[in-house]
Amino acid sequence: MTTSASTKVSEQLCFGGKQLRFKHQSAVTNCEMQFSVFLPPQAETRKVPALYWLSGLTCTDENFSGKAGAQRVAAELGIALIIPDTSPRGESVPDDSDGAYDFGLGAGFYVNATREPFVKNYQMYDYIVSELPALVEAQLPITAVRSISGHSMGGHGALVIGLRNPERYRSISAFSPICNPINSPWGIKAFNGYLGDDQSQWVHYDAAELLAKTQQAKPILVDQGTADNFYPQQLRTDSLIAAAEQSGSNAQIRLQPGYDHSYYFIASFIEQHLRFHANYLSC
């Protein structure tokens, strides 16, 4: 795999650090990808660890950087924030035939598609696990010490990727994740479209299924608002709670009364998540 060097698209000073945006030609998704990075001020003199943030349906790499208010605490803690896009994009990239928001562009679900016509571009699992870290660690002052987090569809991605690759991530967290997509309308639609009807392949991308069987889960923190209009039908947090109990995993799954699915919820608890990850990124 040969990945082209990234090109800087924008740069702003932020809490003594830098908020950056890049584009590059991906060998994995076979299209141009964009991603955002916050480099804390400590990165001026040394390499720093990173938290990878995976966003949800309809988002790009700019939603989290503009709405979550994470940079202040990341600057204090000396943690870089790596924020990829949610799907491949471009005129040649296939989309949902009806233009629905929950499949196709903006809705890659962090899987490796095996079904035509999506297989050429929708390889978001490999992009997040392998290509993007190799790129940022080679070109920016970022170490290979990583944690992963995300929201909604991105919370699903963070849990699945963290659980499947415990050697690559120190800790995992999620806001309002799609916990059990094989039993969720969003997940069933996406997995049918990207993976086909062989449900034996779906379980590899289901956090509740993975957590129930894991013996070596890294520390996990999940927050779910009780006023979330997608809870519990789409998100199925109960399945993740049951899986954590079954496996005896080191997972904190917290129900937050009155909070919804929005970035107001994320902004309210992002400091706690960053400090949670800092405990493990500094080891």
CB atoms within 10 A of CB 66: 11
Cα–chain-centroid distance for residue 82? 10
Q: Is 197 one of the annotated active-site residues of the chain?
A: no
Cα radius of gyration (the chain): 17
Indicate which residue of 6, 152, 173, 249 is catalytic: 152
The full DSSP string for 212-277 is: HH-SSPPPEEEEEETT-TTTTTTT-HHHHHHHHHHHT--EEEEEETT--SSHHHHHHHHHHHHHHH
Indicate which residue of 24, 151, 156, 261 is catalytic: 261
Residue 98 belongs to what H/E stretch?
Answer: none
Nearest to 151 by CA among 275, 20, 276, 264: 264
Nearest to 112 by CA among 124, 129, 128, 102: 124
- On whether the CB atoms of residues 195 and 114 are closer than 8 A, the answer is yes
Q: How many helices (H) and strands (E) does the chain have?
A: 10, 9
Angle at 194 between CA 193 and CA 200, to 5 degrees: 100
CB atoms within 10 A of CB 87: 27
Indicate which residue of 147, 223, 228, 249 is catalytic: 228
Q: Is 24 one of the annotated active-site residues of the chain?
A: no
Q: Is 228 one of the annotated active-site residues of the chain?
A: yes
Going from the C-alpha of 107 to that of each of 33, 102, 165, 191, 213, the distances in angstroms are 14, 6, 22, 11, 27
* Residues labelled catalytic: 152, 228, 261
